[in-house]
Amino acid sequence: MINKRNTRMLIGALLVLLTVVTSYLAQNLRKDTATANQAPAVVKEKSNEDSIRNKVATLLSRDGIRLGQALSAADAQTHRQLRIHWRSFSKTDSSPLIKTEQLVSGANLTRTASSVRDGALPRERSFELAPDRLFVTGVDDTDAVRWWRLIVDPRLVRAEVGSSTEMQSEVYYRGDAELVLECPDDPVLKQLRLYRPVWDGQEFRLELIGAVALD
C-alpha cells in the first residue's frame, strides 16, 4: 500500500513538473517569436539611416564639404528654433516676385529671433533632393557638417499665367521671406548654412545661399 501511495505521489509530482516546464517553454517561445518579428524593423531603420548618410556624404563631397560625426538629436530634451529674415539677391529689383532665371547666388540672412523649445526634433525618414527644397546643414568650429535637414523653400510662389484657354504654371520666388528653422540645441553647432540644390543635367550640386551664426 505504501509503495502504491508513493508511486501515485511521484506520478503527481512529475505531472506538476511537466506542466511547469511546458508553460515555461511556451512563454519563451512567444518571446522569441515577438523578438524575431521586431528584428527586421530595427535592422531596416538602421539601414535607412546609413543610406541617408551615404547620400549626404556623396552630395557634400561633390563640393568639397566635409561630413563629420552626425549628432544624435533624436533623444534630446530640447531643440532650438530660429526666425530668419531672408532677402534674396536678383538681377532686378523692380518686382517683389523673382523668376528663376533672375535669381543670383547668395542672399542676406538675418536672424531675428532665437529660442529653446522642449522636445526632440523628428528624424529624417528620407532624403530626396528637388528644386523646391533647401538643404540646411549645421557645422561645427572645424566646418564639418554635423547635422542636416531638407525643407521646403519658403520663397516659392506658383502662379497660373496666360489666357483662360492657355493657362500654364510658372514658378516665382519672393524677394523677401520669413523662415523658421529648427535645429539641435547643441553647443557643438556653430553655424547653419542653407544650400539650394541645382540640377546640372546629370546630378544635383549645392549652391550656397547664406549662413546664420548660432552663437
DSSP 74: T
**Average pLDDT in the chain:** 82
Write down the pLDDT at residue 13.
64
Least confident of 68-72, 78-82, 193-197: 68-72
**In terms of domains, do 34 and 118 share one?**
no
**In terms of domains, do 76 and 159 share one?**
yes
Question: Does the structure show a pLDDT above 50 at 34?
Answer: no
Q: Which of 53, 74, 94 is the last residue of a domain?
A: 53
**In terms of domains, do 83 and 47 share one?**
no
**In terms of domains, do 49 and 73 share one?**
no
- The highest-confidence range among 12-21, 42-51, 115-124, 180-189, by mean pLDDT, is 180-189
* Residues spanned by the domain of 36: 1-53
Question: What gap in Å lies between CA 205 and CA 199, rounded to an integer?
Answer: 6
Q: pLDDT category, 111, cuts 50, 70, 90?
A: very high
**In terms of domains, do 153 and 87 share one?**
yes
**In terms of domains, do 171 and 199 share one?**
yes
Q: Which of 14, 30, 53 is the last residue of a domain?
A: 53
**In terms of domains, do 90 and 155 share one?**
yes
Q: Which residues of 199-215 are buried (b: 16+ CB within 10 A; e: fewer)?
A: eeeeebebeebbebebe
**In terms of domains, do 41 and 71 share one?**
no
SS3 57: helix
What mean pLDDT do residues 18-26 have?
Answer: 61
130-166: pLDDT as tens digits: 989 999 999 999 999 999 999 999 999 987 665 666 6
**In terms of domains, do 42 and 91 share one?**
no
Count Cα atoms within 13 angstroms, Cβ side, for 183: 32
Question: What gap in Å lies between CA 55 and CA 61, rounded to an integer?
Answer: 10
**In terms of domains, do 200 and 136 share one?**
yes
Report which residue type is found at 181.
L
178-209: pLDDT as tens digits: 999 999 999 999 999 999 999 989 999 999 99
Give backbone dihedrals phi and psi of 102, rounded to 5 degrees, phi first.
-95, -10
Q: pLDDT category, 38, cuts 50, 70, 90?
A: very low
**In terms of domains, do 209 and 146 share one?**
yes
Write down the pLDDT at residue 162.
59
Q: Are residues 72 and 147 in contact, defined by beta-carbon separation less than 8 angstroms? A: no
Instruction: Please state the pTM of the whole predicted model.
Output: 0.72
**In terms of domains, do 5 and 69 share one?**
no
The CATH code of the domain that includes 130 is 2.60.40
How many separate domains does the chain show? 2
Write down the pLDDT at residue 104.
85
Name every residue whose Cβ is closer than 8 Å to that of residue 205 and which is 6 or more positions away in sequence. Answer: 62, 63, 197, 198
Name every residue whose Cβ is closer than 8 Å to that of residue 200 and which is 6 or more positions away in sequence. Answer: none
Q: pLDDT category, 105, cuts 50, 70, 90?
A: confident
Who wins on pLDDT, 11 or 101? 101
Q: Are residues 103 and 86 in contact, defined by beta-carbon separation less than 8 angstroms? A: no
